[in-house]
C-alpha cells in the first residue's frame, strides 16, 4: 500500500452522512473494478487527520505528483482518464440502492490539490483524496473534478447543443435528457434553447432525447468533433379543434372526416356536437382533411403551436318543393293538362291533377326548373327554386272551339230529319239526330285539321212495294 497524502478534517465538510468513510470505501471495493477503485484513495482516520493511500504495491518506482507539477499535455491525459473513470463509476453506482443517495457527492473534492496523479505503466492516472468533502473555508461551492474535465484541452472539444421545435422556434427552458459515457442526466435549455455541455472528449458519442411515457423518444446521437454545432429538433405537441359547417355556418354532427398526417391515414368523427378535438399534433407539420362523402371539401392546414381551428365548409342540398298550376287566359284552372318538366338535366311529362295543380317535391333549392306546355313547346316558364315552397303558374291560350255542321240529304237532295248518326273521334263515340232541316252539329270541340271522324248513319229501312 502506498501513502499519498494527509488532510486536516477540520477544514472540510463531510458530505456522505450518515455513512462514514470505512462503510463507503468498503462498498466501493465490493462494487468497482480494481481500475475503477484506483480513482478513490483509501482513507484512514487518525484523530483529526485522514491519511490517504492507494492499493498499489509500495514500490520504489511509483511517482506521485500534484497536477500543477505536470506539463499541459500530461494534465490533458489525466483529465481524459478522469472523465472516463467518472462516467464508468457513476454508471455502476447509480444502479445500486446503497449509493443511491450519495453518488452525486462522491466525486466532490475541496480543491484541485485533492486530485493527485500517479505514474503507472499506462501513464499518469488520477487519484482523488478528500473525496466526498467540500471545503469549509470558502462560501463559493466548487467542483474541481468537473472543472478539470471541462477545461480546454487538445483531446476535447466544446459541446453546445441547440434545441428547436419542429416549427423552427427555439425550445426555451426545455427539459431533456443527455447520455454520455453510459450515464443519463436530466438537463434544461436556457431561454435561447441552448445547452452548454462543456468540453467532451473528441470522437466520443453522446445522445440527446426526450422521455415520453417512460420511453426514449426523438433520439439524436452525435460524435464529438471540433468546431461543431449540435442541432436537435423536438416536436412541439399541440391540439386542434376540428369543425364541419354548412353554408349557414351550422355545425354538422356525426360527420366522418378522413385525411393524411405525416403520410399516414387518419379519420375523425365530429360526434353529436359537430366539433372534435384532435390531440398529439406536431407544430410545423401539415394535415390534410376532407369530409369523406364530400372530397371537394379537401383542405390542408398548417399546425401552429396554439390556436389551431380547422374548419371544413360544406354546401349541402337544401330541400325544396314546387306547385305547378296551369290556367287559361281567363284564369281558369286546367285539370288533366299535359306539361313537360325539365329539372336536373332530365325531362319528364306530367299531367295536372283534378284541381289543375301539379305538386313536385324532392327538389333542391338553387337549381333551375322549367315547365313547358306540351301542346305548345314555345310556351314555358322557368325559375330558380327557393328554399320555401315555390309556385309556378303556366298560362295557356286555348283556340276557339271548332264545330262541324253535318247536313244529311236524300238522293233527291231533300233534307232527312230525325235520322240518328253515331260519330267516333279520338276513341269516343257520340250520337246526334238530325233536325227538321236534316242538320246536326258534330259533338266534339277543338278539331285539328285533317283529322278523321268516323260516322254511322242509322237510315230507316225501306218498305217493299207489292207488285
Q: Is 134's pLDDT higher than 60?
A: yes
Q: Structure pTM?
A: 0.51
What is the Cα–Cα distance from 302 to 287, expressed in whole angstroms?
7
- When pLDDT is cut at 50, 70 and 90, the band that residue 201 belongs to is confident
The arithmetic mean of pLDDT across residues 159-184, rounded, is: 92
Residue-level pLDDT at 449: 54
The arithmetic mean of pLDDT across residues 320-325, rounded, is: 92
Q: Is 467's pLDDT higher than 80?
A: no
What is the Cα–Cα distance from 377 to 373, expressed in whole angstroms?
5
* DSSP run (H or E) holding 312: strand 309-313
What is the Cα–Cα distance from 39 to 25, expressed in whole angstroms?
12
Q: Of 408, 323, 400, nearest to 359 (Cα)? A: 323
> Would you say the CATH fold of 239-313 matches that of 156-234?
yes
- Superfamily assignment of 156-234 in CATH? Carboxypeptidase-like, regulatory domain (2.60.40.1120)
What are the pLDDT digits (tens) for 291-306? 999 999 999 999 998 9
What are the pLDDT digits (tens) for 83-96? 889 988 988 998 89
Domain boundary assignment for the chain? 2-150, 156-234, 239-313, 319-395, 405-457
CB neighbours of 460 closer than 8 A, spacing ≥ 6?
Answer: 419
Is residue 210 within 8 Å of 280, Cβ to Cβ? no
Residue-level pLDDT at 56: 73
Is residue 441 within 8 Å of 405, Cβ to Cβ? yes
Q: Is 465's pLDDT higher than 60?
A: no
Work out the percent of the chain whose per-residue pLDDT is above 90: 55
CB neighbours of 56 closer than 8 A, spacing ≥ 6?
Answer: 1, 2, 38, 62, 118, 120
Residue in this structure with the C-alpha cell 410545423, named with its chain if needed: 284
CATH 2.60.40.1120 for domain 319-395: yes
Specify the CATH number of the domain 239-313: 2.60.40.1120
Strands (E), 114-214: 115-120, 123-128, 133-135, 156-165, 175-180, 183-188, 194-201, 205-212
Residue-level pLDDT at 399: 65
What are the pLDDT digits (tens) for 376-410? 889 999 999 998 889 999 898 876 666 778 888 88
Q: Which DSSP symbol is given to 169? A: -
- When pLDDT is cut at 50, 70 and 90, the band that residue 58 belongs to is low
Amino acid at each position: 500500500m502506498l501513502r499519498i497524502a494527509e488532510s486536516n478534517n477540520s477544514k472540510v465538510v463531510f458530505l456522505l452522512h450518515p455513512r462514514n468513510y470505512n462503510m463507503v470505501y468498503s462498498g466501493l471495493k465490493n462494487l468497482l473494478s480494481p481500475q475503477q477503485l484506483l480513482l478513490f484513495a483509501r482513507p484512514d482516520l487518525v484523530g483529526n487527520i485522514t491519511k490517504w493511500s492507494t492499493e498499489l504495491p509500495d514500490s520504489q518506482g511509483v511517482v506521485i505528483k500534484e497536477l500543477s507539477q505536470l506539463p499541459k499535455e500530461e494534465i490533458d491525459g489525466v483529465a481524459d482518464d478522469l472523465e472516463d473513470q467518472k462516467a464508468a463509476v457513476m454508471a455502476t453506482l447509480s444502479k445500486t440502492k446503497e449509493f443511491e443517495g450519495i453518488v452525486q457527492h462522491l466525486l466532490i473534492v475541496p480543491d484541485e490539490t485533492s486530485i493527485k496523479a500517479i505514474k503507472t505503466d499506462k501513464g499518469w492516472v488520477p487519484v482523488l483524496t478528500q473525496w466526498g468533502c467540500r471545503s469549509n473555508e470558502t462560501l463559493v461551492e466548487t467542483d474541481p473534478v468537473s472543472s478539470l474535465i471541462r477545461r480546454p484541452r487538445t483531446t476535447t472539444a466544446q459541446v453546445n447543443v441547440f434545441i428547436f421545435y419542429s416549427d423552427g422556434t427555439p425550445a426555451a427552458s426545455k427539459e431533456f435528457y443527455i447520455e454520455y459515457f453510459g450515464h443519463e442526466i436530466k438537463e434544461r435549455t436556457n431561454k435561447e434553447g441552448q445547452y452548454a455541455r462543456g468540453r467532451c472528449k473528441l470522437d466520443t458519442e453522446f445522445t440527446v432525447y426526450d422521455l415520453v411515457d417512460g420511453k426514449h423518444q426523438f433520439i439524436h446521437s452525435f460524435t464529438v468533433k471540433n468546431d461543431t454545432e449540435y442541432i436537435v429538433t423536438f416536436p412541439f405537441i399541440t391540439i386542434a379543434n376540428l369543425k364541419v359547417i354548412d353554408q349557414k355556418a351550422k355545425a354538422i354532427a356525426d360527420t366522418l372526416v378522413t385525411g393524411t398526417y405525416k403520410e399516414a391515414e387518419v379519420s375523425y368523427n365530429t360526434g353529436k356536437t359537430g366539433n372534435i378535438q384532435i390531440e398529439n399534433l406536431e407544430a410545423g407539420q401539415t394535415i390534410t382533411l376532407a369530409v369523406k362523402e364530400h372530397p371537394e371539401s379537401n383542405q390542408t392546414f398548417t399546425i401552429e403551436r396554439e390556436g389551431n381551428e380547422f374548419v371544413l365548409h360544406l354546401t349541402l342540398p337544401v330541400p325544396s318543393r314546387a306547385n305547378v298550376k296551369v290556367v287559361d287566359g281567363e284564369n281558369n284552372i286546367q285539370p288533366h293538362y299535359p306539361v313537360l318538366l325539365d329539372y336536373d338535366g332530365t325531362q319528364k311529362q306530367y299531367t295536372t291533377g283534378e284541381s289543375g295543380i301539379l305538386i313536385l317535391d324532392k327538389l333542391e333549392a338553387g337549381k333551375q326548373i322549367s315547365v313547358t306546355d306540351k301542346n305548345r313547346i314555345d310556351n314555358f316558364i322557368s325559375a330558380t327554386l327557393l328554399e320555401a315552397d315555390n309556385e309556378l303558374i303556366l298560362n295557356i291560350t286555348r283556340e276557339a272551339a271548332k264545330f262541324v255542321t253535318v247536313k244529311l240529304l236524300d238522293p233527291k237532295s231533300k233534307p232527312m230529319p230525325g235520322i240518328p248518326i253515331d260519330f267516333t273521334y279520338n276513341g269516343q263515340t257520340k250520337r246526334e239526330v238530325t233536325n227538321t232541316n236534316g242538320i246536326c252539329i258534330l259533338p266534339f270541340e277543338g278539331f285539328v285539321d285533317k283529322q278523321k271522324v268516323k260516322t254511322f248513319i242509322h237510315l230507316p229501312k225501306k218498305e217493299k212495294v207489292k207488285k
